[in-house]
Amino acid sequence: MVNSLDVAGVFDLGLRASYELCDKVHAAADPDTHHLVRTYLPAPKHPHFHALHAYFAATEDISDDCFADWVVETLQEVAEGRSDHRLRQAFVHTVVVWGLDVAVLREFLEAIRLDRAAPPRCATFDDLRGFLRGAGGAPARLTLPLFEPLRPAAHEMSLLGEVFRLLDVCRGYGHDLRTGRCYLPDEPVDVVVRRARLLVEEGTAVLDLVHPSSRPFLEMAIAGYHLGLDEVEGTVPPRVDGREESTSDVPRHVAVIMDDRGRSRPAGERALLDVVEGAAEIGLRFLSVFAFSTRHRVLPSDEVGGLADVVARVVRDRVEWLHTRGIRLVWAGRRDRIPADLRAALEAAERRTGANTRLTLVLCLDYGGRAEIVHAARRLVVDAVAGRVDVDAVGERDFGRYLYAPDVPEVDLLIRTSGEQRISNFLLWQGGYAEILFTDALWPDFDRRALRRAVDSYACRDRRFGGVPDQRARAVPRGA
């Protein structure tokens, strides 16, 4: 097998180590593009593409505290033409070897700085493009010399970079909302997709502007953009912030309080998986389960640890089970108090399943309804003080954007197992007009059949969302 570093003429041991690190970082951050590079570009270019993509990923992942130093050090090293940093060494070498435009690099770094400074607020697709040009178009233009353009192609390359970034935004839509960053504009998704397709069509002209050896890679990338936009049309929910009402006989969102009164946790785990699969079969779009509340912290430490271990095992061992069934996992709850390994497992599961659309499983972990509302209010106050929110214009929809999982709709049906008749501080904001079903079954005995019976019961109810019964129905005498 040909070693791409050898054919690229990289023999210095320290530099080779840096390029090898970039290869790994690129593969982890963007496996699809990494595969395209390895498959469709000449081997001598592989290390340099990996170095660029690894640098882009590292720049966006670095903490806010270190970002300013990262930028200063990068620009200083590029000016000097050398770096001793483990990852930036290969990046700076690539910039020097290919004579990349430092002004474009500065444009990218400034776009990321502005994005970190304040969450974007995009009313229109044109507003969104202001972000996409710097965060997506600039990196694409920086890589352009590696495609060996035969004629000027910066504009076309930038357009393709914007679409690449847009698809990344769409894949991370749910996660971004939960962190208070919604990049997508208020316009309907089909409008966004239609505008993006126009960018791809215009950017496709780049195929005639670059060296023939670069065209297979770009052709495959463009084909991937079209497929990605097809997927976006059917997967990204409209920006309604979870406030639409369900009118179907099948509830859109079912929430379950899993009360087992301390019975076998393995049995509870099996019940959860059975109910999740049953929810997907029935056609539910969202299933929220109360796995671990803020109140559980008053339990003995070994009991809390046991609960956390069960959740961690389910998340770690069952993420592929969820993914292969098209189920997206969303975590709602406090993220600052649980064990680091559990948090890492949950966030990895969210990323792995983030593009799935068959069912969204909302795992409420270290969750409390009151705490969620207080958390949302605090975040709203921060934005108001910073001038990003007009307090007088804030309504329920606006407030809902600050909840733990703002893209999750209101609860249609709330189920409480174990015979207890209380909602236990669960989804207080989202469950304001939920139908409630109390069942004597303990959680391990609640399976997909019990869920089906609950949904059938829901279908027989007259949901009025706080209104009065249909007057025409009341006017009909009994027995008529």
Predicted pLDDT at 26? 95
Based on the domain organization, do 337 and 427 belong to the same domain?
yes
Based on the domain organization, do 227 and 260 belong to the same domain?
no
Is position 473 within any domain? no
| Residue 93: CATH number of its domain | 1.10.600.10
Q: Which residues contact 478 (CB under 8 A, 6 or more apart)?
A: none
Based on the domain organization, do 312 and 429 belong to the same domain?
yes
DSSP assigned state of 87 = T
Predicted pLDDT at 295? 52
User: Burial, 260: exposed, middle or buried (Cβ in 10 Å; 0-12, 13-18, 19+)?
Assistant: middle
Based on the domain organization, do 170 and 33 belong to the same domain?
yes
Based on the domain organization, do 217 and 340 belong to the same domain?
no
Phi, psi of 424 (to 5 degrees): 55, 45
Is position 362 within any domain? yes
Distance CA 126, CA 122 (A): 8
Based on the domain organization, do 263 and 168 belong to the same domain?
no
Domain stop point among 191, 207, 235: 235
Is position 470 within any domain? no
**Token pair for residue 199?**
């960018």
| Residue 410: CATH number of its domain | 3.40.1180.10
User: How many residues in total does the chain contain?
Assistant: 480
Is position 248 within any domain? no
Phi, psi of 367 (to 5 degrees): -115, 145
Q: How many domains does the chain have?
A: 2
Is position 469 within any domain? no
Predicted pLDDT at 47? 97
pTM score above 0.75? no
Is position 349 within any domain? yes
Based on the domain organization, do 435 and 360 belong to the same domain?
yes
Residue ranges making up the domain that contains 393: 253-461
Per run of 10 residues, the mean pLDDT along the chain (length 480 residues) is 86 96 94 93 96 96 93 97 97 98 97 84 83 95 97 96 91 62 75 89 95 95 89 58 50 83 59 87 89 51 51 75 89 84 85 86 89 90 85 85 87 86 84 88 81 85 58 35
Is position 356 within any domain? yes
Predicted pLDDT at 150? 96
Based on the domain organization, do 293 and 330 belong to the same domain?
yes
Based on the domain organization, do 217 and 275 belong to the same domain?
no
Element (H, E) at 321: helix 301-324
Distance CA 246, CA 409 (A): 9
Domain stop point among 235, 266, 301: 235
User: How would DSSP label each residue in 399-443?
Assistant: HHTTSSSTTSPPPSEEEE-TT----TT-STTTTTT-EEEE-SS-G
Is position 240 within any domain? no
Predicted pLDDT at 97? 97
CA atoms within 13 A on the CB side of 46: 25
Predicted pLDDT at 473? 39
The residue type of 75 is L
Based on the domain organization, do 36 and 164 belong to the same domain?
yes
The strands making up 286-293's β-sheet, listed across from edge to edge, are 327-332, 359-367, 286-293, 253-257, 413-416, 435-438
Element (H, E) at 454: helix 448-459
The β-bridge relationship of strands 327-332 and 253-257 is unpaired
Based on the domain organization, do 223 and 285 belong to the same domain?
no
Based on the domain organization, do 107 and 226 belong to the same domain?
yes
Quick one: three-class SS letters along 145-179? HHHCECCCCHHHHHHHHHHHHHHHHHHCHHHHHHC
Predicted pLDDT at 260? 54
